[in-house]
Amino acid sequence: MITFGSLILSFFSSYLANQRGNSPETIASYSDCIRLLINYCCNHLSITVDKLALDMISDTLILDFLDYLEKKRNNSPKTRNQRLAAIKTFFRFAARQEPTLGAVCERVCNISAKKSEHKTIQPLENYEVKEILSQPDSNTLSGARDQAILALLYNTGARVQEMIDLKISDLNMENPMQVILTGKGKKQRIVPLYSQTVEAIQHYLNLRQNAGIEHERLCLNSKNQPISRFGVAYLIRKYVSKATRKCSSLLKRTVTPHTFRHTTALHLIQSGVDITVVKEWLGHACIKTTTLYVEIDIDMKRKALQACPPPIPGLQLEKPQWKEAPILAFLHQLSKKVTLC
C-alpha cells in the first residue's frame, strides 16, 4: 500500500503542478489546508505524524475539522468550503493512486458544502472610477505606475495576481492595442486596451527608462521588485481615500482590487456587451459566474425604480367579484342594495 507521505509528495509535486497546472498560489493554499488537517488529526487521535494513515481520516473527523476551522480559527463558510474542496481533491487523487481507499474517498466526497451568505456586489459608479484614476501624480515615477495599474485594472477586469504577474512583453501598445493575461490554471486570454490605458502605460515605461530601471515585469515597487498583492491593495486604499474629498459616496465604501473586476464586468454588461464576451473578457471558467452580474444589474434597476415613484397615484380599482370569496361577494351585493335604496 502506498504510504501517506508518498501520496502527499506525489499530490503536490506531480499532480497539482504538472497535471493540473495549478499556480504557486493555489498550491500554497492546498498545502496550508492539508497541513492544518494533518495537525488536527494527529492532535485528535493523539498520534505523531509518522503514525497517521489516510484511512484513519474519516468523514466524521473531517467534519470535526471543518467545525474547528469555523469556531476556533474564525474561518467564514466560504473559506470552509474552499478547504473542503481542497480535501476532496486530495482524496480523489489518493483513491486513484490506491484503489483500496475508494470507500474512504467516497464518504469524504459526500460531505456537503455549507451554505454561505451571498453578499451583494457593490461596483463603482463611472464618476467614482474617474475620480480615483485622477488622483495619482503622473509626473512622478510612482504616480505614473499607480495610474497605469488603476487604468489596467478597470480596463481589463484583471485579477490582482494576473496584474502583478504581467510582463512588458505581454503588452501590444500598437494596433491592435491589447494585453495577454495569464489566469487560473495558466490559461491565457487577450483583452483589448483603451488608447488612454496605453498612454498611461507608455508614460510610466518612459519614466522607468529615464531612471535606468530594467525589468521584465510591468508593475514594480519602490525597490524595483515585482509589486505584491498587498502593494496593489494599499495603493487602491490610498487613492480611494484621496478621492473621498471630492467624491463623498466613497466614504463608506471598501474598495479592493476585486472591486475593479466587478465594476468592469457590470459596466460591460450595462453597455450591452454579450455575456459570452464578458465571460472570456474576465477569464471565467463557467458562464454561471458571469450571469451573477446580470442578476446584479437587474436588481440595481429594480432599486432605481423603487427610488423613483410614478408621477400619478395608483388607481383605486374595484376588485372584480369573481376574485372575491363567496362570503365577501355576498356582502358586496348587500352594500350595493343599500346604496341603491
Asked if residue 251 is part of any domain, the answer here is yes
Asked if residue 104 is part of any domain, the answer here is yes
Q: Specify the pLDDT at position 288.
A: 82
Q: Specify the pLDDT at position 4.
A: 86
Q: Which CATH number characterizes residue 196's domain?
A: 1.10.443.10
Residues 186, 53 share a domain: no
Q: Specify the pLDDT at position 122.
A: 79
- C-alpha cell of residue 260: 475593479
Q: What are the distances in angstroms from CA 306 to CA 125, 235, 310, 335?
A: 19, 36, 9, 36
Residue range of the domain that includes 145: 126-305
Asked if residue 130 is part of any domain, the answer here is yes
Q: Specify the pLDDT at position 59.
A: 93
Residue type, 47: I
Task: Show pLDDT as tens, one digit a residue, over the chain (341 residues).
Answer: 678 889 999 999 889 988 887 878 888 999 999 999 999 999 999 999 989 998 899 999 999 999 999 999 999 998 999 999 999 999 999 999 988 888 989 999 999 988 876 666 678 999 999 999 999 999 999 999 999 999 999 999 999 999 999 999 999 999 999 999 998 878 899 999 999 999 999 999 999 999 999 999 999 999 999 999 999 999 999 999 999 999 999 998 899 999 999 999 989 988 888 889 999 999 988 888 888 777 666 666 666 666 666 665 555 555 555 455 666 666 666 665 555 45
- Structural domains in the chain (count): 2
Q: Are 176 and 192 in contact (CB under 8 A)?
A: yes
Work out the number of other CB atoms within 10 angstroms of the CB of residue 122. Answer: 15
Final residue before a domain boundary, out of 45, 77, 109: 109
Residues 143, 69 share a domain: no
Asked if residue 101 is part of any domain, the answer here is yes
Residues 38, 103 share a domain: yes
333 burial type by CB count under 10 A (0-12 exposed, 13-18 middle, 19+ buried): exposed
Q: Specify the pLDDT at position 35.
A: 94
Residues 147, 41 share a domain: no
Asked if residue 114 is part of any domain, the answer here is no
Q: Looking at the annotation, which residues are catalytic?
A: 159, 184, 258, 261, 284, 293
Asked if residue 87 is part of any domain, the answer here is yes
